Amino acid sequence: MKSVSSRWSLVSLIVSVLIFARCFCVEAQQRAKIPRIGFLDSSTFSGNAGFLEAFWQEMRKLGWIEGKNIAIAYRFAENKGTERVNELASDLVRLHVDLIVASGAGPSVAAKKLTTVIPIVMANASDPVAAGLVTSLARPGGNVTGVASLSPELNTKRLEILKDAVSKLARVGYLQLAGGSILSDRILKELRLRL
């Protein structure tokens, strides 16, 4: 009887040690860090709903699922101007996000002023060279990359086409957001030269 009892004691001791060791190992393991993207936009969330849905649809195809293996900190300035964009960019830098996606030149410039370490992906910046975001389109350098729309050049070409199509064209209206910017002022100046 003693040998059976001592065997059970030994077995229960081993099982207890294994359970304790397993609990200790589980506590010692750290969760893998989930990459965090900061999304910075000067407009509104509702204004970007279609874009964001398309973005997440493509991300899911690549295996990225928000909240599971990637996180996004959204920041929308609600069209409240440069100062608000700067505040939100500062907030993202304080969060130590792994990447900042900045929609347009304004948010990209705001992010670039605050960090040379966090990679910044500009989405639809009109003229990144003129805005000081990159050294050149061929060799951007620094921590900023992305997509440029080159709208100043396209706007002047559109005006040329319009003038060719409407031979008696004398006046053209140009709409821009309130407050303007260095880039929008440059676009307007170039359009005036072409008229």
What is the reported pTM? 0.66
Report H helices in the chain: 2-28, 49-61, 82-94, 105-114, 151-165, 182-194
Q: How far apart are CA 135 and CA 86, in angstroms?
A: 22
Q: What pLDDT sits at residue 15? A: 41
Q: What pLDDT sits at residue 13? A: 39
Q: What pLDDT sits at residue 151? A: 65
Instruction: Tell me the pLDDT of the chain averaged across its residues.
Output: 80
Domain count, the chain: 3
Contact assessment for residue 74 and residue 102, using Cβ atoms and an 8 Å cutoff: no
Residue 38, φ and ψ in degrees, nearest 5: -100, 130
pLDDT > 90 fraction of the chain, expressed in percent and rounded: 40
Residues 69 and 120 in one domain: yes
Contact assessment for residue 77 and residue 104, using Cβ atoms and an 8 Å cutoff: no
Residue 113 has pLDDT above 80, yes or no: yes
Domain region containing 24:
1-30
Provide the 8-state DSSP code for 119.
-
Q: What pLDDT sits at residue 24? A: 47
List Cβ neighbours of 72 (8 Å cut-off, separation of 6 or more): 36, 37, 38, 39, 66
Torsion region of 118: left, alpha or beta (phi above 0 gives left; psi -120 to 50 gives alpha): beta
Lowest mean pLDDT among 11-15, 52-56, 137-141, 168-172: 11-15
Residues 109 and 179 in one domain: no
Q: What is the CATH number of the domain that holds 106?
A: 3.40.50.2300
Residues 141 and 90 in one domain: yes
Half-sphere exposure of 153 (CA within 13 A, CB side): 9
Half-sphere exposure of 75 (CA within 13 A, CB side): 26
